[in-house]
Copies of this chain bind each other. A is one copy, B any other.
Amino acid sequence: MSQPRSDAPAPRRGRPGYDREQVLAVAVKVFNEQGYDATSVADLSATLGLTKSALYHHFDSKSAILELALNDALDALEAVVDDATARHPLASDRLRSIIRGAVRVLTEKLPSVTLLLRVRGNGDVETAALVRRRAFDQRVTAIVSEAQAEGLIRDDVDAAVATRLIFGMINSVVEWYRPGGPVDPDELGEDILRVSLDGLQSR
């Protein structure tokens, strides 16, 4: 699916004929700006300049929109781990590929990943997303453990803590990265690889 952009222009009122993707992109932008719980279907339809019934033509409910956006982010992140697992026999190579891939997903799908990272588990949709996030973390932790057993990743940092720190660094990018801004997304992926694997110290 195409990427909902946080800088998607707010559509003008009275301009009909959105497709589902556009409605989703605007809804995710509003959720990120004012919070999912604080956003009503009336807010969404007002922002889109659509009647509520026109909005319900695209989506059954507010939570259906949330579910689609969260699944979009989670599908992309899980695909990164699947792809790394299929390609690289060495766990340390898989880890490198996962770090690079996760940064790419984050910069390409910034609005839906931002929404995912703010999920706290209110309601079934959020709870299901947290379960998938936890399973994702466990898969990556297992890969870090395997890379430690290979002797290619240091084993004086606990694998679960190391995974949390790597993703702490990656996920923090949603706080300041802006598409089209001065930081190139590919460069950022390489920077995060450099810092997390090689460290900031000169050698």
Contact = CB atoms under 8 A, between A and B. Distances in A.
Interface of A: 35, 38, 92, 151-158, 161-162, 164-173, 175-176, 183, 188, 191-192, 194-202
A169 B191 CA distance: 14
A175 B165 contact: no
Nearest to A96: B201
A93 B62 CA distance: 51
A173 B161 CA distance: 10
Nearest to A196: B200
Given A155-B202, A157-B191, A197-B200, 17 more contacts: A92-B201, A151-B202, A153-B200, A156-B194, A157-B194, A161-B183, A162-B191, A162-B200, A165-B172, A168-B171, A168-B175, A169-B172, A194-B199, A195-B196, A196-B200, A197-B199, A197-B201
Contacts of A155: 202
Given A168-B175, A169-B172, A172-B171, A198 B195 contact: no
Q: Copies of this chain, how many?
A: 2
Given A192-B165, A194-B157, A195-B157, A202 B172 contact: no
A189 to B, nearest CB: 12
A43 to B, nearest CB: 16
22 contacts: A92-B201, A152-B201, A153-B202, A154-B198, A154-B200, A155-B202, A156-B194, A157-B191, A157-B200, A161-B191, A162-B191, A162-B200, A165-B191, A165-B195, A166-B200, A168-B169, A168-B170, A168-B171, A168-B175, A169-B172, A197-B200, A198-B201
A162 B191 CA distance: 8
Most chain B Cβ neighbours within 10 Å, of A35, A38, A194, A202? A202
Given A195-B162, A198-B201, A201-B198, A168 B172 contact: yes
